[in-house]
Each structure stands twice: as structure tokens, then as C-alpha cells.
Structure 1
């Protein structure tokens, strides 16, 4: 697997070389066996219980190094610093057990216009014995000129209040490998326009799904939009509909959504 610290250093030093254009056709693949200690650490940080299956979001961190390799190669059209993770959709055909070896494959696709620039997808699949059982599509935004601004739907009424500690960015970075400076320290975050460090979008998704643990369909698709960053430390309102098909995180003072999501049978 990739040395993530070196890839982040590469991204910072060579970002000026990326001048736009089409997405490359290159891919990355790896065979992965789940490390029980790593899985336990991930469960603790994200709020999942320990069990025989992996959380639906866990294979994302196993494939993150492959994703980073693709997005830092010379042929990739955009510099990694400044890309915004705006959405993530995970589809699984069944739960994955911690004992199953996974074949991971990553590619990029679907470069398209966005109202604030351009967006594209990074697609990661996990297969067991040749059968694809899990697919993750992360959508990234490259800011540029656009034709307007999006509107966010109102979240349902809050059902729980969570206090997010100031060190959650560093703790999640340790288990995920995502050491983007905006998540680690206020001074680094300010260099990118944030007043404080911000929580990882995939941590907020995982934390929400931990609240659904035991209630997600075995075969399902969970789609989230990352609306506004969670500035650390924070207090956030979690909300979900009684049938569990919609959920959200929002600012309890302003009502501004941080994340909105849906759960659908697959």
C-alpha cells in the first residue's frame, strides 16, 4: 500500500504541475486483508460496535491510499490541495466479514460541469472471490467559475446532539491515512481559508451510520452530500426520519446543514 505521508508531500510540492484536461485512464488495485487492530481502532473513532462484519464505510479507508496514488500522479489534471469532497455514495450487496480478503480496484470517471467549477468521481470497488460486493463513489469539486450556487434542503428535526472533540481530525487521520492539513491543526486550516480545523467528511458519514448500526439493510446504498464543514470542536445536531431513509447533521444555532443523506435498499 502507498506511503500516504510521501503522497501528501508530493501533492504539496508538485501541485503546480497539474494544468487541467481529461481524467487519466490509469487504475490502481490491491489485495487487502483486514487487520483486526486497525478495524478496532476505526470502530472506536467512528462510534461503531465491535462485531464480525466491517462497517459499511470501512473499506473506504482501505482503498484511500490507492485513491491518493491516482490523484497525485502526473497525468491527473487537478492539484490535490484545494479539491473539495462534496459527496459520497456507498453501495453494498451484502455485509463484508472481517475475515474475508478483499480485492480493491480504483479508477476515476465522469468529469463534468458543476455550478462552482468542475466535478469528477473516484470509484473504489471491493470484491470477494471475484464478486464485487461493495462500491464507493466519492465526488470531488475543483473550484472555478460557475453559473450559480446550490441550495440545500432542510434537514428533519434533530433527534440527538453530539459533541465533536477538537482532536477528532487527528484521531481519524491516524486510522484513515487522510492527513490533509485542514483536518489536523487550526494554523494549517487557516492557510486554506478555514478559521479552525475541520472534521473529515467521511468521519461525519461514518458517525451518522454508526447511529444506524444494526438497522441498515444488508443490501443498501447510502448517499451523502457534504454541505458545510464541521469546525472543530463543535456541537452538531443529528436527525433521522422514523423510517431511517433520511438523515442529516446540522448546526444547532443556525440550522445550516453540514451533511444530508439517504439510505435506500439496493
Structure 2
């Protein structure tokens, strides 16, 4: 995994200078060969078994350095630290194999109002053999003045049923996921920087939560599918959470819930 420390330092130093209402034009491109050791570390942190097929969320961490480069470019209008990941949608045409060489392209798109500020998309395409087989749209929020007529992204009704499992999420989950993903946003690592952004203690990465949920039924995912999640209530570390999943005629709904029943994450597989 790439060391992104220099880019995060740049993000902190340039944060006071960032302003504007346009996203950078262009894309970042990378050729990727899967590292078996890194894949094993990722699988261990997120709860996946080791198979010839890549976990459906794994291309996200492979492309994350490209996203950070775009969001630390001089033209990017917002401070990187403080952006809120609000939704993530992955479309998979077929499973990717460990042995395949991948091409990844990442761009920023669709800056628009949000009820709590402004939102934009990080769009990623992953190709194998010259064919795009994995697509992702991650939507981020930059908090600011509200826009009453703006639409917030998110799922419609999710019916995940009653909890089927209870998980203990250790205090070091943010640090362990940061080590395999490269996402070293300080709100996920230590309580002190998290408190500076209004959290009582460090919070789990949204994409760890999505991966951990999908790992619970990874072998039952269709080869061709779309998996959408909405990140709701931040997941403080450590925590005890309930997991619920229910099959429907056209897929599955799932949820990660606090012990009081409030959703940390709502998801659907179609």
C-alpha cells in the first residue's frame, strides 16, 4: 500500500487556503497487480475469507491513493480532513481474480448542493482485460450553509429484519484498517483529533463497516450485482453493534445498528 503521509501533511498545511466552487478536471490512472500479502491483511481486518476472487470492496482500497491525489490537488476546493463519506455504491459485472492485472481510473464529478452543505462524487472504474468490470461512486459531504431544496443522497426504505449477529468492534479497528487502506484520516486513529471534529472518540471508517457487513455473506453475493450503502450514525471505537441481513426476491437488505437500534449503516444488494 502506498504511503500517503506526505499527501495528508499537504492536506493539513493547505486546508486554510482551500476555497472555490469547482472540482479539478481530469483523472488519475494506475496499473495494479494484486499483492497477496496485502490482500491477506485486508481480508483479515475486514473479516473476508481468502479466495481466488477479490472481495467486492477491495478495489476501493487499491484506488484510494488516486482519490487522495485528486483531493489534495491545488485546484481541489475543500480541506481533505473533515469531509464526510455519506454513501457508496459499487457495481460489479463479475468477480475480479487475484491473478488479474487491473487498470483503475478515478475522477471527481457532480459538485452539487446538500441539505448540510455541498456534496460531490469520487468515481472509480476498474478494468481487467480491457473491460470495465467494477465501478464505484463514493459521495462525500463538505459541511457548510444548508440548502433547503437540495436532495441528500441515500437509500430508500431498507428492510433488514431483526439482528442476526452481535459484533464487538475493537478500539484499534481504525488504526488496523488505516494500515491496509492508506486512509489515515486522523478522526479514525485517535480520540484527540476525533474530538476536534465533534466526535467523542475515534470512529470507524465507513468502508470498513461496509466491508465487514459484506464479509458476513460474501459467498452468497451474485457475481453481477450492485451494492449500495448509506453511512448514517458514526461508529465510535470501541463499540458493540448488531448486524441484520434479510433476503428479498431481488437481493438482500442489511444494516449495522447500535445497541439502541439506531443505524450506523444501511445497505442493499441488487
TM-score interval, normalised by the smaller of the two chains = over 0.9
1:229 partnered with 2:234: yes
Q: Counterparts of 2:161 and 2:147 in 1: how far apart (Å)?
A: 29
1:249 corresponds in structure 2 to 256
- SS of 2:70's partner is helix
Q: What 5-or-longer segments of structure 2 have no aligned partner?
A: none
- SS of 1:67's partner is helix
RMSD: 1.7
In the alignment, is the contact (CA less than 8 A) between 2:91 and 2:134 conserved in 1?
yes
Alignment of 1:160-239 (within 5 A): 160-239=165-244
- SS of 2:176's partner is helix
Give the 4+ runs in structure 1 shifted more than 3 A: 147-155
Q: Counterparts of 1:113 and 1:187 in 2: how far apart (Å)?
A: 30
Q: Give the direction of change, closer, same or farther, for the CA distance of 1:2–1:44 in structure 2 (3 Å limit).
A: closer
1:259 partnered with 2:262: no
Could you state the TM-score of these two structures normalised by the residue count of structure 1? 0.95
In the alignment, is the contact (CA less than 8 A) between 2:113 and 2:147 conserved in 1?
no
Q: Counterparts of 1:213 and 1:91 in 2: how far apart (Å)?
A: 15
Give, in angstroms, the shift of residue 79 of structure 1: 1.2
2:123 corresponds in structure 1 to 123
In the alignment, is the contact (CA less than 8 A) between 1:2 and 1:69 conserved in 2?
no
Q: Counterparts of 1:98 and 1:11 in 2: how far apart (Å)?
A: 33
Q: Counterparts of 1:74 and 1:2 in 2: how far apart (Å)?
A: 20
- SS of 2:220's partner is coil
Moved more, 187-196 or 161-170: 187-196
Q: What 5-or-longer segments of structure 1 have no aligned partner?
A: none
Give, in angstroms, the shift of residue 113 of structure 1: 1.1
Could you state the TM-score of these two structures normalised by the residue count of structure 2? 0.94
1:75 partnered with 2:82: no
In the alignment, is the contact (CA less than 8 A) between 1:111 and 1:118 conserved in 2?
yes
In the alignment, is the contact (CA less than 8 A) between 1:241 and 1:247 conserved in 2?
yes
- SS of 2:107's partner is strand
Q: Counterparts of 1:26 and 1:79 in 2: how far apart (Å)?
A: 19
2:24 corresponds in structure 1 to 24
Q: Counterparts of 2:127 and 2:109 in 1: how far apart (Å)?
A: 19
Give, in angstroms, the shift of residue 2 of structure 1: 5.4
